[in-house]
Amino acid sequence: EPPQPARIHASVPSAAAPSVSNVDKKMKKKKKVIPPPPSSSTLPGDANTIEPAVAPPNQKPPPPLEIEAKLKPATKPRHRSNVPSAASIPTLANTTRSLVHDTLGQQLPSSPPHGGSGGDPHDDLNNAIAIPKKAKSRTDYAKKYTPEYEPHLACEDVVRGLCDGSLVSGVLRVNKHNRMDAYVTIPGLDRDLFIDGLSRQNRALDGDTVVLVVLPQTKWRTKSSSPATSTATSSPAYISSDAETLAALWNPLVQPSQPPAASPSSARHEADVGSGIDRLQVHVDAVQSHLKAGQKAQPTASVVHILERADVSYVGVVRVTKHATLFDALDKRLPRGMRIHNMPPEYHRNPHLFATTMLCLVKLDQWAVHYKSPTGVLVQVLGPASQVDSDLLALLTTNSLLRHLEPFSPEIAASLPVAAEWTIPQSELDRRRDLRGWTVFSIDPSTARDLDDAMSIRRLPDDDTFEVGVHIADVSHFIVPGSALDVEAQARCTSVYFVNQVLPMLPRVLCEQLCSLNASVLWHMRKDGTMVADAPIWFGKTIIRSCCQLDYATAQLLLDSSTTHDIAWPQPPTGGHSKQSIATCVRQLGDIAMARRRQRFATGAVQLPRPKLSFQLDNDGNPVGMTEYPLRESNYLVEEFMLLANYLVAQQLLQHGPPCALLRSHSPPDETKWGNALSQLDKMGVHLTNQQHLTPFLAQLERERGPVVLQTVRHVLTKPMATAEYVVVEDRHLTDRHRHFALNLPYYTHFTSPIRRYADVLVHRLLEASLSGSTSSVAVTPKMVDTCNLQKLRSKRAQQSCDLIYLARYVEHKGEVATTAVVVGVGSRSFTLMFLSFGFEQRVDAPDVATNFKFDDVKKCLSLTVASGATVPITLFEPVQVKLSTTKRVPLELVYTLVPSSSS
């Protein structure tokens, strides 16, 4: 994740006298006084319960608080509220709809049976939705930034509302650049629900599962201006019109089909679910109809209940005030000023020193309706914020990857063979194909330790045809399903790659030393990169002996040269293989891979890479040098054959595997977001249509307009792209939704990295079942797939954040770093920069970099007056010069200083 912008300064109530919101002051009827419980007590923590303020020593206790008598305490949803399961919801579908009337003062119309309304359901939308009370005396700005929270609905009212369709639920996503904006995706709606401001978020945090009420259409957000007309009306098509070339490249043997019709039994099951879903669909359809009628509007909603809090911990620093210790999370999506009462002794010895040096880990405790910020519990002091180790520990913590730091259990260690003593059992020699006499070698980064893939190539009697082999470490041989090692690997699910270390998914002995047992794929190819259509594809377990371990740099030298002289090899070939024979194999593979790659991208494959940073570390692990990680033809060589092996394994699973196949799916970009992206490019004078293949278009763009425009266009086109995910295909029934958009393939999976991805371990098991015929013995559960998707996303975020931590440390080491950025977003008070050399995006608030600023709404230009008195214009897609430095306080953050051009 890119570095976060400057903190939003929200007012923090004093711990001595908890504030009472204006809306509560107006509750004059039916009130009673409830004295606060003793400060030492711990409330069970319901969302409607008034939390006691724990007074510091020698401080008077807070005054009693008034609350409305009719509000009933309910159990706080610290993890999961007492909401009945989905199966029990239909039995409550006919309950009266008085929940909003009782709590929020507005009556919902009753829902007739089966979701019908007796008329057009769209007509009642504005009257069918209840909204929280409005404080008349407060400005919109005050309501947004100084929230008044409403009590959460009771559980029985939530169930009733979810059943009759008046309420919806989903996971809250908070804008990482602006905490005031949050969104929830609802199935059936083309656009997310927008939750505007802290009051409407109603104490929900990013990742919480919330219940919402959709606001009347008069309160929907209307965009101020429509995007420029674009040449695109839909997202780009999946498959190229050049079907003949695609068939030659991939030789597909499985074709997608339409979803099967529902069986009578499944139809009865769906009918039994109850009319609650029907009623929900009526309201969703009503919202959707209004969306289509007014294309600029975005529906808004308010949170009325929190079903489940996200089980996360927060990293940040504390600050000392006169009456309380407050915690500020580094994640700017979280509220500032979280009150902490269980500070450790080292804090009390020197609060100021602790606050200015230490990173802390805190979990949410309670958030009562009368408080602007929650209370938290200190979980752990991570260490001095000036140390990289503390930063990395914070990354692992915030991304729920701490398990990767734990040593493998003694039970797991005892189950593994000792590498020095292990030999291949005779039973494995008898059942595997012996390829130890073949020329098999690997190409990896120079620092790689987990060597999980190797390749081979042999020329066939037909001079234009080759047999290519991909050989993958068979770690599934050592991972017995259900064993302690299997459980641990499934929990970690992926290796995590930091700048200074790798946190493995599996024990080192499996990653680095027991690589002779392999799962192999062999197929026939022509020199032009196409498949031999009628040639068999062989899958099976093998034994190999790698004769050479090349790094990418050495492999590139072999590709660039016709001789092996004057090339320094990391290690000489073994087993009687000569350098010349290895060089010949590398060049043959390189010729086939590059020919294939050209055809792949010419027929619709998409790749939008960003720069990857590479750091040089000193003996203490501090960054002293930085370059962009080079991508060479040798990298692409390996990539092409790994892609093809993954595709062929997916095809084998769909043809002969168990009833469930694990695939890697990638959806096309959302049509609206894609259209907006192309509209932005139109403003740059870059005109792209859906009929153009991206890669040839981008290559021509680079030739005509240079690398800066190319990287900017890549950045714009990356925004609407969906995230690839693992999916299960039931009963081998392949549909278009299982396709992989970026690769332009009807099916794809992950097979080639079982050392670092648990999904690949599952695919190895499925492949073995497809070869042995034991198709019912392998289970791939939804929980496994969800964990694979979640852990992959977490590790990616942690790795990106790690790069930025080392970038900040490098800038601190250098003092200042000058660079070029491109403006990719402009607002009235802020702008967004894309740093081309570093590959990250940063939102910058104008007051942080300018003494004065003015926004021209017509030209969409933000004019900044910097400290020197010069004016720096901020215009969309224009480059600006930026000087990077770092803060002198905890935590270490990048500081951005705009450098005026000579014309300014």
Say how far apart CA 668 and CA 193 lie, in whole Å: 22
Confidence of residue 232 (pLDDT cuts 50, 70, 90): very low
Mean pLDDT computed over 192-212: 95
pLDDT class for 272, splitting at 50, 70, 90? very low
**What pLDDT score was predicted for residue 72?**
35
Percent of the chain whose pLDDT exceeds 70: 76
DSSP-based three-state secondary structure for 700 = helix
Among 279-283, 409-413, 435-439, where is mean pLDDT lowest? 279-283
Least confident of 272-281, 283-292, 783-792: 272-281
491 or 691, which is more confident: 491
903 or 125: which carries more pLDDT confidence?
903
Helix/strand/coil (H, E, C) string of 617-664? ECCCCCEEEEEECCCCHHHHHHHHHHHHHHHHHHHHHHHHCCCEEEEE
pLDDT at 512 over 90: no
Look at residue 258 in the predicted model and tell me its pLDDT.
58
Band (493; pLDDT cuts 50, 70, 90): very high
Tokens of 161: 């509302």
Q: What is the pLDDT of residue 776?
A: 67
State which residues form the domain around 848. 815-899
Give the pLDDT of residue 287. Answer: 59
Q: Above 80 in pLDDT, residue 6?
A: no
Q: Find out whether 154 and 304 touch, Cβ atoms under 8 Å.
A: no
Same domain, 162 and 299: yes
Closest CA to 521 of 648, 621, 426: 648
Of the spans 44-48, 170-174, 292-296, 835-839, which averages the highest pLDDT?
Answer: 170-174
Strands 338-340 and 375-384: parallel
Q: Whole-angstrom Cα distance, residue 480 to residue 487?
A: 10
User: In residues, how long is the chain?
Assistant: 904
Structural domain ending residue among the three candidates 242, 276, 308 = 308
| Residue where a domain stops, chosen among 371, 386, 401 | 386
282 within a domain of the structure (yes/no):
yes
Answer yes or no: do 638 and 784 share one domain. Answer: yes
Confirm whether 243 is domain-assigned. Answer: no
On whether both 293 and 316 belong to a single domain, the answer is no
Mean pLDDT of the chain: 80
Residue 434 has pLDDT above 50, yes or no: yes
The verdict on 758 and 867 lying in the same domain is no
Domain contains 808: no
Per-residue pLDDT at 237: 55
Query: What is the predicted pLDDT for the residue at 59?
Result: 43
- Report which of 89, 100, 127 is spatially closest to residue 283, judged by C-alpha positions: 127
Mean pLDDT of 589-599: 97
Tell me how far the alpha carbon of residue 359 is from its chain's centroid. 24
Confidence tier at 821 by pLDDT (50, 70, 90): very high
Give the bridge partners for 376, in sequence order: 340, 364
Name the residue with higher pLDDT: 492 or 259. Answer: 492
- % of the chain surpassing 90 pLDDT: 58
Please report which confidence band the pLDDT of residue 319 belongs to, taking 50, 70 and 90 as the band edges: very high
In terms of phi and psi (left: phi > 0; alpha: psi -120 to 50; beta: otherwise), the region of 576 is left
* CB contact set of 57 (below 8 Å; sequence gap of 6+): none
Q: CB under 8 Å to 458, separation ≥6 — which residues?
A: 438, 439, 466, 467, 469
pLDDT of 43: 32
432-469 burial, b at 16+ Cβ within 10 Å, e below that, comes to beebeebbbbbbbeeebebbbbbbbbeeeeeeeebbbb
850 and 780 within one domain: no
CB contact set of 35 (below 8 Å; sequence gap of 6+): 64
- Looking at the fold, whether 351 and 271 belong to one and the same domain comes out as no
Residue 398 lies in a domain: no
pLDDT the model gives residue 208: 95
What is the predicted pLDDT for the residue at 1?
A: 41
pLDDT value of position 289: 59
One domain for residues 26 and 116: no
Residue 841 pLDDT greater than 60, yes or no: yes
For residues 878 and 889, membership in a common domain is answered with: yes
Number of Cα atoms under 13 Å in the Cβ half of residue 881:
12
Mean pLDDT along residues 73-88: 38
3-state secondary structure of 887: coil
**Residue 401: inside a domain, yes or no?**
no
Q: Domain check: are 652 and 733 in the same one?
A: yes
Type of residue numbered 875: T
Say which CATH number the domain at 361 has.
2.40.50.700
Count of the separate structural domains present in the chain:
4
- What does DSSP assign to residue 749? -
pLDDT of residue 904: 52
Among 45-54, 429-438, 522-531, the least confident range: 45-54
Rounded to an integer, the average pLDDT of 558-577 is 84
* pLDDT, tens digit, 9 for 90 and up, residues 546-560: 999 999 999 999 999
- Count of beta carbons in the 10 Å neighbourhood of residue 809: 23
Q: What is the mean pLDDT of residues 874-880?
A: 93
The owner of tokens 């450098």 is: 899
What's the pLDDT at 134? 40
Q: In the predicted model, is pLDDT for residue 483 greater than 70?
A: yes
At 694 the pLDDT is 87
Checking if the pLDDT of 342 tops 70, the result is: yes
Confidence of residue 33 (pLDDT cuts 50, 70, 90): very low
Q: Are residues 458 and 561 in the same domain?
A: yes
Match 């009337």 to its residue by tokens.
101
Q: How far is CA 631 from CA 548, 708, 806, 846, 903, in A?
A: 21, 18, 21, 36, 36
Q: Classify residue 734: in a domain, yes or no.
A: yes
Instruction: Give me the pLDDT at residue 530, please.
Output: 96
Of 120-124, 321-325, 690-694, 784-788, give the lowest mean pLDDT range.
Answer: 120-124
Q: Which whole number is the average pLDDT over 565-578?
A: 85
Confirm whether 210 is domain-assigned. yes
Read off the CATH number of the domain in which 884 is found: 2.40.50.140
| Residue 812: pLDDT over 90 | yes
Do 55 and 109 belong to one domain?
A: no
Cβ neighbours of 889 (radius 10 Å)? 11
H or E element in which residue 107 lies: none
pLDDT at position 54 is 40
Angle ∠(526,531,532) on CA atoms, nearest 5: 80
Query: What pLDDT does residue 78 have?
Result: 41
Higher pLDDT, 515 or 814: 814
**pLDDT grade for 243, boundaries at 50, 70 and 90:** confident
> Which pTM value belongs to this model?
0.78
466 has a pLDDT exceeding 70: yes
Question: Is 81 part of a structural domain of the chain?
Answer: no
Question: pLDDT by residue (tens digit) across 886-899?
Answer: 998 888 899 999 99
Tell whether the model's pLDDT for residue 797 goes beyond 80: yes
pLDDT at site 235: 64
Q: Is the pLDDT of residue 53 over 60?
A: no
Report the distance separating Cα 376 and Cα 380, nearest Å. Answer: 12
Evaluated on CA atoms 576, 577, 580, 581, the torsion sign reads positive
Residues 327 and 376 in one domain: yes
pLDDT category of residue 743 using cuts at 50, 70 and 90:
very high
> What is d(CA 375, CA 365) in angstroms, rounded to the nearest whole number?
5
Give the CATH number of the domain where residue 299 resides: 2.40.50.690
Give me the pLDDT at residue 292, please: 53
